[in-house]
């Protein structure tokens, strides 16, 4: 088994060869010209090289078209259906890899634009901008770790339990984040803080701030759990 996977790794580690196998699996058979057109290859030497490396995964029919052998069909099933562990052994990225980084790029860009605008309109200081960038980078790292655990490590039952905790944590994080933004920007220089301090004193203002944080976190956790329950604690359709 290990030697077979090692052999397939050498053959299918190249994206072009993986595409050839998947194309032949989908179309049953294709001519040389059809393969070159589908792969957008205009160099016959390059095409011949990939066909030669594929070896006994493909064969040429009497009519000149290429098709998968029995071993080639097993390889296509491996590419399409096998768990992520076997995909990694073939040198392939996990299925979630591309979507994850696209989503992270969009989210990180949105947060960065928000913080930059806040900085240039003097809502946040340079030190807060620096902390925010660190927060974005740390968030990407944490998101990657969580996604890896969810997709590659946990069983289905464990994944749903983990998802529930994530929904609760996400609710707490979102509510806490917007509370922090409000305190650091809109409410920082407002008369609300001064009114509370002048009316009840600094000690009460500190206690009030702690209680408001706790209430927001509890509310965020409840909202996150409620959303998770509505989705059966599934983050995506395929989770």
Region 200-205: mean pLDDT is 58
**Cα 14–chain centre separation:** 23
Domain range for 162 is 157-239
The model's confidence at residue 10, banded by pLDDT at 50, 70 and 90, is confident
Predicted confidence at residue 1, as pLDDT, reads: 42
Predicted confidence at residue 78, as pLDDT, reads: 76
Point out the domain boundary residue: 133, 153, 173. Answer: 153
Predicted confidence at residue 91, as pLDDT, reads: 52
Domain count, the chain: 3
41: left (phi over 0), alpha (psi -120 to 50) or beta: beta
Domain of 67, CATH number, reads 1.10.10.10
Question: In the chain, what percentage of residues exceed pLDDT 90?
Answer: 3
Contact in structure between 143 and 107 (CB atoms under 8 Å) = no
Q: Which of 81-90, 94-103, 227-236 has the highest mean pLDDT?
A: 94-103
Is 100 found in the same domain as 85?
A: no
Is 76 found in the same domain as 31?
A: yes
Predicted confidence at residue 238, as pLDDT, reads: 47
Predicted confidence at residue 133, as pLDDT, reads: 86
H helices then E strands: how many in the chain? 11, 3
Point out the domain boundary residue: 89, 109, 125. Answer: 89
The pLDDT of residue 199 is above 50: yes
Which has the minimum average pLDDT: 59-73, 100-114, 193-207? 193-207
**pTM attached to this predicted model:** 0.43
């Amino acid at each position: 088994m290990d030697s077979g996977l090692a052999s397939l790794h050498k053959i299918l580690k190249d994206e072009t060869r993986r595409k050839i196998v998947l194309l032949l699996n989908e179309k049953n058979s294709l001519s040389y010209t059809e393969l070159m057109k589908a792969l957008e290859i205009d160099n016959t030497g390059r095409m011949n090289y990939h066909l030669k490396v594929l070896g006994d995964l493909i064969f040429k029919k009497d009519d000149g078209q290429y098709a998968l052998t029995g071993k080639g069909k097993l390889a296509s099933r491996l590419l399409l259906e096998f768990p992520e562990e076997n995909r990694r052994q073939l040198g392939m990225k996990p299925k979630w890899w591309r979507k994850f980084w696209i989503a992270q790029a969009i989210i990180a860009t949105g947060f960065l634009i928000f913080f930059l605008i806040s900085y240039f309109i003097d809502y946040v200081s340079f030190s807060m901008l620096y902390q925010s960038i660190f927060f974005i980078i740390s968030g990407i790292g944490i998101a990657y770790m969580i996604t890896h655990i969810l997709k590659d490590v946990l069983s289905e039952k464990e994944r749903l339990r983990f998802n529930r905790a994530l929904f609760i944590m996400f609710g707490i994080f979102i509510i806490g984040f917007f509370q922090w933004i409000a305190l650091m920007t809109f409410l920082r220089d407002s008369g609300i803080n001064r009114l509370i301090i002048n009316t009840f004193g600094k000690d009460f203002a500190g206690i009030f701030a702690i209680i408001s944080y706790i209430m927001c976190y509890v509310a965020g956790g409840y909202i996150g759990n409620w959303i998770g329950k509505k989705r059966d604690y599934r983050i995506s359709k395929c989770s």
